[in-house]
């Protein structure tokens, strides 16, 4: 006899079919919200990302954004090139430019901060107590990075006072010990960015200001991996639209809501967040290529890069222009 399903079995099968369709719909919904992994440092200059994330700007673009913490600059660059992360906000570096020169499939897609002469001092040099900074002081030790944008700006700051950075001993000290090192004379100078600069400058003052030595310098940029830049540019445009909304929120300044989000995201004291100089980040998202070209020429002369890259090789304005609309 041929088997015929009962009405109860038919009802169960119909229920399973409905559930299966529902699962397909759910899967479709998940697929419609692609994940974008973004490397993050708990620092005030990443505030536009924090603001866009907390205020739901990425979600409104149909994106599931994952903030990936605790990555050093070189680690985040490797992760971007390998595709383990999709977006790398942060300071420009010789590593970034060298990777592009060697054919890495990544691109700068937006600006993320400049040293603005009409703005407050975000990056500066603090002297030890008692150092006579008139004219060209006698110094031997400085807390400074070994490469990247900060070292370039330090070079330019010291040059205004006739001091050769390469003639000094550069120490890479954690922020927590800088104050004590300046107090006991273990350091003559310390190059620092906000908010650490604010804490140390309360007692030592700022001697040299980055924006005066390197006006308009493109301090930081937003970079895309090959996935967003080349294979899924529509997701890159959606991310950029949300990022630009974060820039607009950031431009509102130290509102109570912005301070609250930035303080929680960076685990900083809200009082320090309110007092610190927030890096100037233009809302238009463009970059100042002239300053990047100058940075590369310096890096070549210092032996930190083997060859430079052109604007066309490094910068893709497609996403910023698409987000204008």
Q: Which two tokens stand for residue 39?
A: 């490397």
**pLDDT for residue 70:** 63
Question: Residue 238: CB partners within 8 Å, gap ≥ 6?
Answer: 61, 62, 63
């079919």: which residue's tokens? 17
Is-same-fold flag (33-114+218-323; 123-209)?
Answer: yes
In tens, the pLDDT along 82-112 reads: 999 999 999 999 999 999 999 999 999 999 9
Q: What pLDDT is recorded for position 1?
A: 39
pLDDT above 90 covers what percent of the chain?
A: 83
How confident is the model over 5-19, as pLDDT tens digits? 444 433 433 433 343
pLDDT at residue number 25: 46
Please provide the CATH number assigned to the domain covering 123-209. Answer: 3.40.190.10
Query: Picking from 95-104, 142-151, 274-283, which range would have the lowest pLDDT averaged per residue?
Result: 142-151
Average pLDDT, whole number, for the chain? Answer: 90
1-58 pLDDT, tens digit per residue, is 333 444 443 343 343 334 344 444 444 444 568 999 999 999 999 999 999 999 999 9
| Residue 32: per-residue pLDDT | 67
pLDDT confidence of residue 90: 92
Average of pLDDT values for 131-141?
93
- Arithmetic mean of pLDDT, 116-133: 95
Give 31-35's long-range contacts (Cβ < 8 A, gap of 24+).
32/62, 33/62, 33/63, 33/64, 34/62, 34/63, 34/64, 34/232, 34/235, 35/63, 35/64, 35/65, 35/66
> pLDDT at position 72, please?
79
The architecture in CATH of the region 33-114+218-323 reads 3-Layer(aba) Sandwich (3.40)
| Spatial distance between the Cα atoms of 6 and 4, rounded to a whole number of angstroms | 6
- 155 band by pLDDT with thresholds 50, 70 and 90: very high
Distance CA 324, CA 62 (A): 18
205-245 pLDDT per residue, tens: 999 999 999 999 999 999 999 999 999 999 999 999 999 99
Residue of higher predicted confidence among 20 and 201? 201
pLDDT band of residue 325 (cuts 50, 70, 90) is: confident
- pTM here is 0.87
List the structure tokens of 104: 């890495």
Q: Quickly list DSSP for 220-289.
A: EEEEE-HIIIII-HHHHHHHHHHHHHHHHHHHT-S-HHHHHHHHHHHT--HHHHHHSPPPB--TT----H
Q: What residue segments make up the domains of the chain, in order of their start?
A: 33-114+218-323, 123-209
């Amino acid at each position: 006899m041929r088997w015929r399903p009962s009405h109860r079995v038919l009802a169960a099968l119909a229920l399973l079919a409905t559930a299966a369709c529902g699962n397909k719909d759910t899967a479709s919904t998940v697929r419609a919200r692609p994940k974008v992994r973004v490397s993050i440092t708990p620092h005030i200059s990443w505030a536009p990302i924090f603001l866009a994330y907390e205020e739901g700007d990425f979600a409104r673009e149909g994106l599931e954004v994952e903030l990936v913490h605790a990555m050093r600059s070189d680690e985040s660059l490797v992760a971007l090139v390998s595709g383990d992360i999709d977006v790398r906000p942060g300071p420009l570096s010789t590593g970034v430019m060298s990777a592009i020169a060697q054919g890495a499939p990544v691109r700068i897609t937006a600006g993320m901060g400049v040293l603005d002469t009409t703005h407050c001092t975000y990056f500066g040099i603090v002297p030890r107590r008692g150092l006579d900074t008139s004219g060209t002081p006698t110094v031997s030790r400085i807390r400074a990075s070994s490469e990247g944008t900060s070292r370039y700006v330090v070079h330019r700051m010291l040059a205004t006072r006739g001091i050769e950075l390469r003639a000094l001993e550069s120490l890479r000290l954690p922020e927590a010990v800088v104050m004590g090192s300046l107090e006991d004379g273990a350091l003559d100078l310390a190059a620092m960015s906000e908010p650490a600069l604010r804490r140390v400058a309360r007692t030592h003052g700022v001697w040299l200001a980055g924006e005066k030595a390197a006006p308009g310098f493109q301090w930081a940029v937003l970079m895309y991996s090959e996935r967003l830049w080349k294979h899924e540019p529509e997701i890159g445009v959606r991310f950029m639209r949300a990022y630009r909304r974060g820039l607009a929120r950031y431009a509102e300044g130290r509102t109570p809501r912005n301070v609250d989000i930035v303080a929680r995201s960076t685990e900083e004291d809200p009082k320090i967040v309110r007092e610190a100089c927030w890096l100037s980040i233009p809302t238009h998202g463009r970059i100042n290529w002239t300053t990047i070209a100058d940075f590369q020429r310096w890096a070549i002369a210092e032996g930190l890069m083997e060859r430079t890259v052109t604007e066309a090789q490094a910068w893709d304005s497609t996403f910023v222009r698409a987000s204008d609309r």
